[in-house]
Amino acid sequence: MGDTAAKFLTDSEEKVFDRDHRRIINFNMGRYHTSVARGTARLANMEAAKRKAHVIKWRVMENLDKFLPEFEANFQRRGGKVIWANDVQEAQQEILAILQRIGAKRIVKSKTMATEEIHLNEFLQENNIESLETDLGEYIVQLLGQKPYHIVTPAMHLSKEDIAKLFHEKFGTPIDSTPEQLTAKARELLREKYLQADAGITGANFLIADSGSIAVSENEGNTRLTTTFPKVHIAVVGIEKIIPSIADLDLFWPMLATHGTGQNLTVYNTILTGPRQPTETDGPEEMYVILLDNGRTDLLAQKDQRQGLYCIRCGACLNACPVYQNVGGYTYSTTYSGPIGSVITPHMRGMEEFKHLSYASSLCGRCTEVCPVKIDIHKMLLLNRRDAVKEGVVSKPEQWGWAAWKKAMMSRKLTDFFGGKVKNFMLRTFFKKSWGKYRAMPEVAEKSFAQRWKEEQASPDKDK
């Protein structure tokens, strides 16, 4: 077992018995489920919308080599610049080159998982550039020195009391401050930062091919300030975020909002098409879009699993997953956690190190059921398990154990050869430590159902 897998098991065991964590997550998840049930009920034909979204994303992935150049050409036509980054290092260096050229010392960031993926805050800090998160949830976890807990709700693991205590320690606000008072304080602290920033960095929810635009959804307005005040705007976006037409937002914006937070539409939805034009009064003087690969084409090459790239990062599968709700977001040790993270991470960061995530699932299928673009997530997890075996990255004892299990299961005679005493001995000896630590081990009957049925059929009293 690798270090990452061992850490996952240790952290999971600790987190599932953390009652305070469970209380906070159950409360926050409960509010989410109520909102989403209300929001999705407003859609006239949810199944048809999901099918349409799935087909659009399927068409995009099958023609990514056409849609990406179309976006690039249309974006550049309006004065924007496109940079292709193959991996984390390329993306970091390209961003650093832009910031050093303009002499940037401070940048403001809106919420973006792509920059978490390339560890941008840490990289800029190493290069003496201040990087400040402006999304309230991201700002809170940055103050704590933590990573986002959830791809939509970064501070989901914190209660309002935790945040009030943090602000009291950092800024001297009253320990009993209400969420409204804490938000007002954050607004006061952040507002001047937009004016001082040399550049703004964002992600994008969608890349629009036919208009050469990026579409950004938010609830706080911080992204609009991040993209408007600084002279330079850099958007870091995964290549899978592309959609064919601006008309497709009519479908994807409501689907993202209802599945992400339960809203009809996110509060602020912005379409950005290059830097400020001569006839415009606001916006950046320069705008860059960094198209990030970082393992996405490796996943694209997997015909069975490329569905994972359809994801619109709504977070619905995380909120539906019983494993995620119990072990928490940090346990995964990845940028993208939960079911979708378990699907894509082994392809983006290596099957050998992250194959264990595909086993961290009950395969209940709830993630597939709630996905707004109908990704067959639980099937993808099974295919990852298959690939792990094919690539030989499973341990020898595991291979031998499953080979013996398969042989026994394929032969009723062999299964019944060992009686209940032998089977119970095997369970106590080999599985008690892993399976029986917190639960009673099952007691296998001396005779199997098949044996008892055979005896029953042969009994002279059968017809009585």
Per-residue pLDDT reduced to its tens digit, 312-328: 999 999 999 999 999 99
> What are the extents of the domains in the chain?
43-294, 397-458
pLDDT value of residue 414 = 80
pLDDT in tens, 169-192: 999 999 999 999 999 999 999 999
Average pLDDT over residues 291-309: 95
pLDDT in tens, 332-351: 999 999 999 999 999 999 99
Average pLDDT over residues 197-217: 97
pLDDT value of residue 25 = 94
* Alpha carbon 225 to its chain's center: 26
Q: In sequence order, what are the residues at sequence separation of 6 or more whose Cβ sits closer than 8 angstroms to the Cβ of residue 318?
A: 150, 151, 152, 324, 329, 337, 338, 339, 340
Is residue 238 scored above 70 in pLDDT? yes
Q: What is the mean pLDDT of the chain?
A: 93
First to last CA, the chain: 57
Distance CA 385, CA 390 (A): 9
Nearest C-alpha neighbor of 157 from the set 14, 28, 260: 28
Is residue 141 scored above 60 in pLDDT? yes
pLDDT value of residue 242 = 98
pLDDT value of residue 225 = 95
Is residue 293 scored above 60 in pLDDT? yes
Distance CA 51, CA 45 (A): 10
pLDDT in tens, 368-401: 999 999 999 999 999 999 999 888 888 888 888 8
pTM: 0.91
Q: When comparing pLDDT for 219 and 447, which is higher?
A: 219
pLDDT in tens, 85-101: 999 999 999 999 999 99
Distance CA 186, CA 196 (A): 16
Ranges 41-50, 133-142, 262-271, 415-424: which has the least confidence: 415-424
> At 235, is the pLDDT very low, low, confident or very high (cuts 50, 70, 90)?
very high
Which residue type occupies 172? G
Provide DSSP, 214-273.
EEEEESSSHHHHHHHSSSEEEEEEEGGGEES-GGGHHHHHHHHHHHHTS-SS-SEEEEE-
The CA R_g of the chain, rounded to the nearest whole Å, is 26
Is residue 463 scored above 60 in pLDDT? no
Distance CA 321, CA 364 (A): 9
Average pLDDT over residues 268-294: 95
Q: Token pair for residue 129? A: 């550039």
3.40.50.10420, 3.40.50.2000, 2.40.160.10, 3.40.50.2300: CATH of 43-294: 3.40.50.10420
Distance CA 189, CA 173 (A): 12
Distance CA 323, CA 329 (A): 10
pLDDT value of residue 461 = 67
Q: Token pair for residue 53? A: 């979204």
Residue 201: phi, psi to the nearest 5?
-120, 130
Q: Token pair for residue 97? A: 């080159």
> With pLDDT > 70 as the criterion, what percentage of the chain qualifies?
99
Is residue 464 scored above 70 in pLDDT? no
> With pLDDT > 90 as the criterion, what percentage of the chain qualifies?
78
Pair 221, 110: CB distance under 8 Å: no
* CA atoms within 13 Å, Cβ hemisphere of 398: 10
> At 1, is the pLDDT very low, low, confident or very high (cuts 50, 70, 90)?
low
Pair 155, 141: CB distance under 8 Å: yes
pLDDT value of residue 423 = 84
Distance CA 266, CA 283 (A): 22
Indicate the DSSP class of residue 438: S
Is residue 50 scored above 80 in pLDDT? yes
Q: Token pair for residue 195? A: 């004016």
Pair 248, 207: CB distance under 8 Å: no
